[in-house]
Amino acid sequence: MTIERATIVLLDQEQWQVLEPLVTRAEIAMRRLAKALPGDRREAVKFEQIADQIERFGRQLAERGDAAKVAFKGSRISTTGTTWVASPRELSRSAAAQQRLRAHVLAGGGLIELRDPLVPGKTRLTPVETPPIAPAEVWRPPKGHLAKRLPAHAILWDTQLARAAGGSRDPLIPSNISNRVLTEGLRYYVDGNQPQMARVAYHDGSEARPFPLRCLRLERQLPKGRTLRLALISMRHNEMDDTVDGCVLGNRLISRVRPAAETDELAYTLSQSRLQALAGKNLTIELYQTGFQPAVIGFYRALVDQLQAAPGSIAVRPRFHEHADSYRPGLPWAVKP
């Protein structure tokens, strides 16, 4: 059996000065990472490479006997997320509790944390006092007339929305819900005058900001005015280019690999900006959708916020992609001024 062992290497002032250029570069990478666009991992990779060099330097010193090392039982050494410390303010509570480590840093030295995850040893097992949680039951669509008319995923989505609109804290899970079912389900449960905020979670484990339900009095008739044809996401179907006047979200930005909730938030922020720019111009947007759940949720959350803040400022009629250049119109999202 193996266990994880943590060791702290104690560097004197001269040894730490050799590392300072690397530490400075790592700090720059951390600051740039905080400002990077969602999904941009370049600075994260750079930070990890520098951190690996710092840890290898500390390990070499310890193996040669040029630096002392002590065992560490805490979960982490630093409050900043690094595996090195050169200031008492950066010491975690568990590290500061070890007098030798604190005294070493106060004297001007540095600390490097090393973790060996596969050291031979025995793990002390804690007796289980409570039985494990039983797995949740597999969801099955109900039997009856609804099951005969709708596919299983539509019944599942309607069930989630109904529970959320009734005040349940169970999240909506839009992953794997088809384009039209997703949008029309949202529209049905947004209509009402008893507002509820529904949690939104995705299959990758990320959770987005809540979606407002039962908060608008939606109309079935579109207001008179000009029509602007927009694709929800650019470059999804090239044949759409001859039909639309523009797009709401750029494919290159919105389709980057990142947690789904971050994509949802990005779609929400960009859509909010687009809708605010078009509001008050007597426009109806014909929204050509090809599906992508985080983008759909983000856009319609922004639309609900816009219609709540300024009723009648804009209207949207979705058009759902079916095949080739065929798009089926959906029910309008419009509110009287």
pLDDT, tens digit, for every residue of 51-69? 999 999 999 999 999 999 8
Give residue 25's domain range. 2-120
Mean pLDDT, to the nearest integer, of 141-159?
Answer: 71
Q: Tell me whether residue 136 is in a domain.
A: no
Q: Tell me whether residue 218 is in a domain.
A: yes
The answer to whether residue 150 scores a pLDDT higher than 90 is no
Contact criterion met (CB below 8 Å) for 232 and 248: yes
pLDDT band of 155, cuts 50, 70, 90:
confident
pLDDT band of 214, cuts 50, 70, 90:
very high
Q: Tell me whether residue 169 is in a domain.
A: yes
Same domain for 115 and 152, yes or no, is no
Worst-scoring range by mean pLDDT, 37-46, 53-62, 93-102?
37-46
Same domain for 194 and 314, yes or no, is yes
The answer to whether residue 229 scores a pLDDT higher than 90 is yes
Q: Tell me whether residue 254 is in a domain.
A: yes
Q: Tell me whether residue 133 is in a domain.
A: no
Q: Tell me whether residue 248 is in a domain.
A: yes
Same domain for 112 and 168, yes or no, is no
Q: Tell me whether residue 139 is in a domain.
A: no
d(CA 151, CA 113) in angstroms, rounded, equals 54
Other Cβ atoms less than 10 A from the Cβ of 331: the count is 15
Same domain for 229 and 105, yes or no, is no
Same domain for 102 and 154, yes or no, is no
The answer to whether residue 145 scores a pLDDT higher than 50 is no
Q: Based on DSSP, count helices (H) and strands (E) in the chain, helices before strands.
A: 10, 11
**Residue 219 contacts by C-beta under 8 Å, 6 or more apart in sequence?**
332, 334, 335, 336
The answer to whether residue 108 scores a pLDDT higher than 80 is yes
Helix residue ranges, H only, 36-132: 42-64, 93-96, 99-106
Per the structure, the count of domains in the chain is: 2
Tokens of 193: 């005058």
Residue 126 gets which letter from DSSP?
A: P
What is this structure's pTM?
A: 0.61
The residue with greater pLDDT, 222 or 324, is: 222
Tokens of 169: 């804290």
Q: What confidence score (pLDDT) does residue 335 get?
A: 92
d(CA 263, CA 321) in angstroms, rounded, equals 21
Same domain for 278 and 163, yes or no, is yes
Mean pLDDT, to the nearest integer, of 155-164?
Answer: 91
d(CA 310, CA 292) in angstroms, rounded, equals 27
Other Cβ atoms less than 10 A from the Cβ of 81: the count is 9
Q: What is the mean pLDDT of the chain?
A: 87
| Model pLDDT for residues 254-267, shown as the tens digit of each residue | 888 889 999 999 99
Same domain for 164 and 299, yes or no, is yes
Mean pLDDT, to the nearest integer, of 79-98?
Answer: 88
Q: Tell me whether residue 221 is in a domain.
A: yes
Signed CA dihedral, 257, 261, 262, 263: sign only: positive
Residue 212 gets which letter from DSSP?
A: E
Nearest to 115 by CA among 79, 91, 89, 84: 84
